[in-house]
Structure 1
Amino acid sequence: MQESDKILFILNPKSGRQSAVDVAALIPQYLPQSRYEIVLTEFAGHATELARHGAKEGFRVVAAVGGDGTVNEVARGLLGTQAALAIIPKGSGNGLARHLKIPMQVSQALKDLSTNKFSRIDSCTINEHPFFCTAGLGFDGYISGVFANNSRRGLRSYVELVLKEFLKFKPGKAAIKLNQENFETPCFVLTFANASQYGNNAYIAPMADIRDGLLDICLIPDLSMRKALAVSYGLLTKTIATTGHADFFTSPEITVKTEKPMPFHADGEYVGEASEFHVEIKPLSLEVLTPQ
């Protein structure tokens, strides 16, 4: 990044992890005041508006300061613009930041901005909703909806909800079309991965390449408690593909029809329910700022 590049920082004051860190107070330690502006989000979707406006105003870089939801909102506002996305991780999962090797410490992420480089990554849509890390339907989507209405945030709260809701969820049936093939399957989890992980170093698609123009698709047809333990271990050790409980595919797009409406998420944020899904990748459609 050049010294003449101006940065717009979009801060979500309610992001979970490191909520006590005063990012606005830290920024002047790493950048002269002439090189940046700071704005705060005030409501859901506000970061997209702010990012789009910042790009129109000529900011070369728009930095999302928050968690995966904030990153998603800022990134979607930058699609089709000349501005690049930077991430200052301040959430509980930080999936895209971790995939791009951005430091989890706010101070280090700010310090690295001056030496970071520009590159491009793929983006994706699920039923026209942009996502950049992962999207999915089934249990993932169900939990995202429950978590959205939960007053407590963070990893511990999320894990507690998963354990509480696991036995309540019943998988549906899905008809899938990808790579000119059609098949039907039970569907406990169907994840569409652009990046390798959900966040918190839980690797749902360890082989995913965010610049290859392909979705990495993980299908878990059914999941007993015994299988769930093996899958959980696989998520944390990048070995989910060897558990025997998940099937993997790659494709630039996929169409899914479910027997009954199923909840779905985009980058961990609950979107709603649907019985038809179309997911596709947009190759190298977003410019980002990442470590050398």
Structure 2
Amino acid sequence: MIGIIYNPVTNSGKSADRMKNILSLLDAKGAEYRYVETERAGQAPELAKDMSAECDIIAAAGGDGTVFEVANGVYGTGKKMMIIPLGSGNDIARSVKLNDLQDEELVDILIAGRSRPFDCFTVNGDTIGLEFVTFNLVVNIISMFKDPANQSKGYGGLVFKAVRATKPYRYHIKTENGEYDIDSIFLTAQNTATAGGGLPIYPATEDDDGKFDLIVSKYTGSIRKYLNLASLSKGKLSQQPNITVERVSWAEITPASNEKYILDGEFFETEGVRVEIAPEKIEMVVR
């Protein structure tokens, strides 16, 4: 049986017609499924755990935040997971090439159930993530993108505005390779190639190699951050002289003061995080 968890507020509620169409296609193909809608933030993990008792595949229908919650319920159950990308960013779906597909294609993939392992990581020992943990610049970009007042504005303009507003913060970073202090405007532990709605953070990132990429910019002045932005849009950020990339299995990131960060599209606040590859993977349904 297939389980489907749908977040009705995904993409400001604009995905309802697509969800109805997907259910109609499943009915037309005679698929057996259980369907539930979330009623509050934070509910999807418990729904996914409940579904795991009777469902072989659990699908997260929504954006990256919904995928994040469902993954926290699916992890450790041994059940497969699929993404029905209905959000505005859909970066985890991009990693498994499920974004921009027609509804009928998604339904066929869901019914077929072909899967592959997908790396998970833990944050501070418990919460499961699939995509990234990021500080500073990307936090500002996503904050502006999610602000209803900016919905009519172009994405490129919002990114430029976020870069202009972002100031360097001081971080202490420790990995299996050593530790150091750095002033940075961009710092991310990346498990997928894109973030922030398709920004090609590091195209070489792999989601099934048992490691993640720690990408850190050293702040060297305002001009360099605009050069970084230009290279980021082309997927060449790692080629900039102030950027370092470490492929690691764990990292401790401690900001000089309490700071917001984003984990898979969800906002948190912390005095420091430990990101570590989880001992198990999730079997992710793919094309």
Output the TM-score relative to the length of structure 1. 0.86
Structure 1 residues 118 and 147, CA, compared in 2 at 3 Å: closer, same or farther?
same
Alignment of 1:196-275 (within 5 A): 196-222=193-219, 226-272=223-269, 274-275=270-271
Conserved? CA contact 1:213–1:252, under 8 Å:
yes
SS at match of 1:75: helix
Alignment of 1:269-288 (within 5 A): 269-272=266-269, 274-288=270-284
Give the Å deviation of 1:68: 0.4
Which residue is equivalent to 1:181? 178
Structure 1 residues 23 and 71, CA, compared in 2 at 3 Å: closer, same or farther?
same
Q: Which residue, out of 47, 55, 59, partners 1:59?
A: 55
Identify which range, 131-140 or 185-194, moves more after superposition: 131-140
Give the Å deviation of 1:225: 5.1
How many residue pairs get aligned? The number is 283
Conserved? CA contact 2:252–2:272, under 8 Å:
yes
Give the Å deviation of 1:7: 0.6
Which residue is equivalent to 2:5? 10
Alignment of 1:107-118 (within 5 A): 107=103, 108-118=105-115
SS at match of 1:85: strand
Instruction: Give the whole-Å Cα distance in 2 for the aligned partners of 1:240 and 1:213.
Output: 23
Conserved? CA contact 1:92–1:154, under 8 Å:
no
Conserved? CA contact 1:142–1:264, under 8 Å:
no
Asked if 1:136 is matched to 2:131, the reply is: no
Asked if 1:78 is matched to 2:51, the reply is: no
Amino acid at match of 1:280: E
SS at match of 1:22: helix
Deviations along 1:185-228, one digit per CA (max 9) or x if unpaired, are 11212100111110533111211111111110110122755434
SS at match of 1:70: helix
Asked if 1:192 is matched to 2:189, the reply is: yes
SS at match of 2:213: strand
Structure 1 residues 147 and 125, CA, compared in 2 at 3 Å: closer, same or farther?
farther
Give the Å deviation of 1:232: 2.9
Instruction: Give the whole-Å Cα distance in 2 for the aligned partners of 1:42 and 1:153.
Output: 26
Structure 1 residues 240 and 164, CA, compared in 2 at 3 Å: closer, same or farther?
closer
Conserved? CA contact 2:11–2:63, under 8 Å:
yes
For structure 1, list consecutive stretches of 5 or more residues without a partner in the other structure: 1-5
Instruction: Give the whole-Å Cα distance in 2 for the aligned partners of 1:152 and 1:284.
Output: 40
Instruction: Give the whole-Å Cα distance in 1 for the aligned partners of 2:51 and 2:113.
Output: 20
Give the Å deviation of 1:71: 0.6
Conserved? CA contact 1:186–1:222, under 8 Å:
yes
Instruction: Give the whole-Å Cα distance in 2 for the aligned partners of 1:276 and 1:103.
Output: 32
Instruction: Give the whole-Å Cα distance in 2 for the aligned partners of 1:153 and 1:113.
Output: 34
Conserved? CA contact 2:219–2:225, under 8 Å:
no
Q: Which residue, out of 72, 90, 95, partners 1:94?
A: 90
Amino acid at match of 1:133: E
Amino acid at match of 1:75: A
Conserved? CA contact 1:253–1:278, under 8 Å:
yes
Give the Å deviation of 1:258: 2.2
Instruction: Give the whole-Å Cα distance in 2 for the aligned partners of 1:265 and 1:10.
Output: 22
Conserved? CA contact 2:109–2:285, under 8 Å:
no
Give the Å deviation of 1:233: 3.3
Q: CA RMSD in A?
A: 2.5
For structure 2, list consecutive stretches of 5 or more residues without a partner in the other structure: none
Which residue is equivalent to 1:3? none
Instruction: Give the whole-Å Cα distance in 2 for the aligned partners of 1:155 and 1:220.
Output: 30
Structure 1 residues 9 and 152, CA, compared in 2 at 3 Å: closer, same or farther?
farther
Give the Å deviation of 1:142: 4.6
Instruction: Give the whole-Å Cα distance in 1 for the aligned partners of 2:142 and 2:198.
Output: 18
Give the Å deviation of 1:281: 0.9
Identify which range, 27-36 or 262-271, moves more after superposition: 27-36
